[in-house]
Amino acid sequence: MISKPEPGEYAPFYNTYVSLIDGDIINLLTQLKDSTYQFFTALPADKADYAYADGKWTIKELLGHMIDAERVFAFRILCFSRGDQNNLPGFDENDYVDNADFNNRTMTDLAEEFRTVRTANLFMLKSLTAEQSMLIGTANNYAVSVRALAYIMAGHELHHLRIIKERYL
């Protein structure tokens, strides 16, 4: 089991995500894999390309961002759980979305990709030992533990789902 990280195990700006999580992180990520997939595939087709204001992402772009971020968090988990002490780079989420082609894909295709990426990440997370989950590395010049990254992964997803429900629907 991956226990909840202490505040010193991640940069303060990640508290927005970590604070959203209580309980077993593996169970939550497993539940979210299916509920998030169902949420996006159930959206009306006319909402997929909707952005609530100029300069804001469409729902497709937001889901694409969630997929990209999940991959980045997973890569950091992989590196740090294996003892890698290199300072991993940050990523500019806007550049990533601008350089992707999410709006030319279907919502179902993006939702399938999300679910597939999450499935792979769950295999990795379930294989971690308690010791590995406590390892700390550096990403974007901030120290972060493996277990904090698992909580950030789930909290990031919940954060964006809330934004969609509040601003897009």
Phi-psi region of 58 (alpha: psi -120 to 50; beta: other; left: phi over 0): beta
- For 61, other C-beta atoms within 10 Å of its C-beta total 22
139 close to 76: Cβ distance less than 8 angstroms: yes
Q: Using an 8 Å Cβ cutoff, are 45 and 127 in contact? A: no
Q: In what order do the strands lie in the sheet with 87-88?
A: 87-88, 136-139, 142-145
Q: Two tokens at 47? A: 């909402």
> How many Cβ atoms from other residues are within 10 Å of residue 67's Cβ?
21
- Domains of the chain, by residue range, sit at 7-168
Rg (CA), the chain: 16
Tell me which DSSP letter residue 43 carries.
Answer: S
113-156 confidence digits (pLDDT tens): 999 999 999 999 999 999 999 999 999 999 999 999 999 999 99
Q: What is the pLDDT of residue 1?
A: 82
What mean pLDDT, rounded, does the chain reach? 97
Residues above pLDDT 90, as percent of the chain: 99
pLDDT digits (tens, 9 = 90+) for 77-95: 999 999 999 999 999 999 9
Question: In the prediction, which pLDDT does 76 show?
Answer: 98
**CATH number listed for the domain at residues 7-168:** 1.20.120.450
**Confidence (pLDDT) at 67:** 98
